[in-house]
């Protein structure tokens, strides 16, 4: 028994912020941002929330899967940027969708969040505990972005992606997941409920702060290691993998991972040019785009890999359809 993705959906706010708009706020340029990150635009909320985007992505995934909201037995939302603490984002989605039979909880693992939500759903499905699960990554990172800090504000965007998973016959591949809290200072953001000395909501501690080079080095070393390990553990060869769907942080990170794995860059789809880094939503949004444009075909083997704050990272193998 395993878990199979049978529907996907995504939502991005209609407001698109290009690099020139950022260059009007901080000392940077379209050329610098594109060259160092690959990002050209990002979608930014104007009235939407983490909950509303999660709901819309989920509605689209349910429609795509043909599953009714009442059939969903578990909803997991991965987010670090919800507009609600209580009730949790997943319960808000449940109410809005009328998924009255679902158990709901949120997960917080930053840019590794969707991979961990997928693994959790897979464990419940392959263990026979649930038959139908909805997983969602939804982020309003613009609320956690310091728009005066040029080293971070160029990177992030808002959006949500969702997948419906059903129990079915097949192989449940083993995941690789890792965390290193000892290196957590590389990427931080204090909760708005944490008092800092002479606290003011404009203090940079309340926004994402990052040692960009440290995160970059961590990602290009640990992601290929995790991918190699997940393939070895499951006795799957690189030749069998059609796509490596990585967290969309920076095109140079994706290119470097491809190079270290000695795999062609064509196997590494990217949409960060349009969305920027949407943390736990990025892999789900990309899977949805690939499903809709026909790149994903039944029987293909895919690796998904996430990495980010924590530090956390991990990779999973799945068979599509």
Q: How far is CA 62 from CA 161, 284, 295, in A?
A: 12, 14, 20
Minimum gap (Å) between residue 16 Cβ and ligand ACO: 19
CB proximity list for 218: less than 8 A, separation 6 or greater: 183, 186, 307, 311, 313
- Which of 119, 146, 234, 277 is the catalytic position? 277
| Active-site annotation holds for 234 | no
Told to check if 204 binds ligand ACO by CB under 6 A, we report no
Report the C-alpha gap between 158 and 193 in whole angstroms.
22
Q: Is 280 in the site for ligand ACO (CB under 6 A)?
A: no
Q: Is 235 a known active-site residue?
A: no
Q: Is 112 exposed, middle or buried (0-12, 13-18, 19+ CB in 10 A)?
A: buried
Interacting residue with ligand ACO among 88, 110, 125, 285 (CB under 6 A):
110
Residue 13, token pair as written in the block: 């706010």
Q: Active site residue: 91, 111, 153, 189, which one?
A: 111
In the complex with ligand ACO, the residue whose CB is nearer, 99 or 187, is 187
Question: Which DSSP letter does residue 319 get?
Answer: E
**Residues 163, 65: Cα–Cα separation, whole Å:** 9
88 binds ligand ACO (CB under 6 A): no
Q: Is residue 37 at the binding interface for ligand ACO, with CB under 6 A as the rule?
A: yes
Q: Which of 79, 94, 250, 251 binds ligand ACO (CB under 6 A)?
A: 250
Report the C-alpha gap between 57 and 104 in whole angstroms.
16
Q: Tell me the window of 121-129, 149-157, 161-169, 288-296 that interacts with ligand ACO (CB under 6 A).
A: 149-157
Pick one of 104, 283, 284, 309: the residue that binds ligand ACO (CB under 6 A): 309
Identify whether the C-beta of residue 136 lies closer than 8 Å to the C-beta of residue 160. Answer: yes
Rounded to 5 degrees, what angle do the CA atoms 278, 284, 286 make?
80
285 binds ligand ACO (CB under 6 A): no
Identify the CA nearest to 89 among candidates 74, 77, 72: 77
The one among 206, 308, 315, 316 contacting ligand ACO by CB under 6 A: 308
12-31 mask for ligand ACO (x: CB under 6 A)?
A: ----------------x---
Name the 3-class secondary structure at 180: coil
Shortest spacing between CB 217 and ligand ACO, in angstroms = 9
Is 185:211 a contact under the CB 8 Å cutoff? Answer: yes
Which stretches of the chain bind ligand ACO, using CB under 6 A?
28, 32, 36-37, 110-111, 150-151, 154, 187, 210, 212-213, 215-216, 249-250, 277, 279, 308-309
Residues with catalytic annotation? 111, 247, 277
């Amino acid at each position: 028994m395993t878990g199979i993705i049978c529907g996907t959906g995504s939502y991005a706010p209609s407001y698109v912020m290009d690099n020139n708009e950022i260059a009007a706020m901080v000392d940077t340029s379209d050329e610098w941002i594109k060259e160092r990150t690959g990002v050209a635009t990002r979608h930014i909320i104007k009235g939407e929330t983490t909950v509303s985007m999660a709901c819309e992505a989920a509605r689209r995934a349910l429609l795509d899967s043909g599953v009714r909201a009442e059939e969903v037995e578990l909803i997991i939302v991965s987010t670090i940027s919800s507009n609600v603490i209580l009730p949790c984002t997943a319960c808000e989605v449940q109410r809005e969708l009328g998924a009255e039979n679902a158990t709901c909880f949120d997960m917080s693992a930053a840019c590794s969040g969707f991979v961990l939500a997928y693994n959790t759903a897979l464990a419940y499905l392959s263990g026979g505990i649930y038959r139908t699960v909805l997983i969602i990554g939804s982020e309003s990172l613009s609320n956690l972005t310091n728009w005066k800090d040029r080293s971070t504000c160029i990177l992030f965007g808002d959006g949500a992606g969702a997948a419906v998973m059903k129990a079915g016959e097949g192989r449940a591949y083993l995941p690789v997941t890792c965390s290193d809290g000892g290196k957590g200072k590389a990427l931080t953001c204090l909760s708005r409920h944490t008092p800092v000395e002479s606290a003011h909501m404009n203090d940079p501690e309340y926004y994402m702060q990052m040692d960009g080079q440290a995160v970059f080095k961590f990602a290009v070393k640990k992601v290929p290691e995790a991918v190699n390990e997940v393939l070895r553990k499951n006795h799957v060869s690189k030749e069998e993998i059609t796509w490596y769907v990585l967290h969309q942080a920076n095109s140079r990170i994706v290119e470097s991972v491809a190079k270290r794995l000695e795999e062609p860059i064509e196997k590494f789809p990217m949409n960060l040019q349009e969305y920027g880094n949407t943390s736990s939503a990025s892999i789900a949004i990309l899977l949805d785009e690939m499903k809709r444009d026909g790149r994903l075909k039944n029987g293909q083997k895919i690796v998904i890999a996430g990495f980010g704050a924590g530090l956390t990272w991990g990779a999973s193998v799945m068979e599509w359809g």
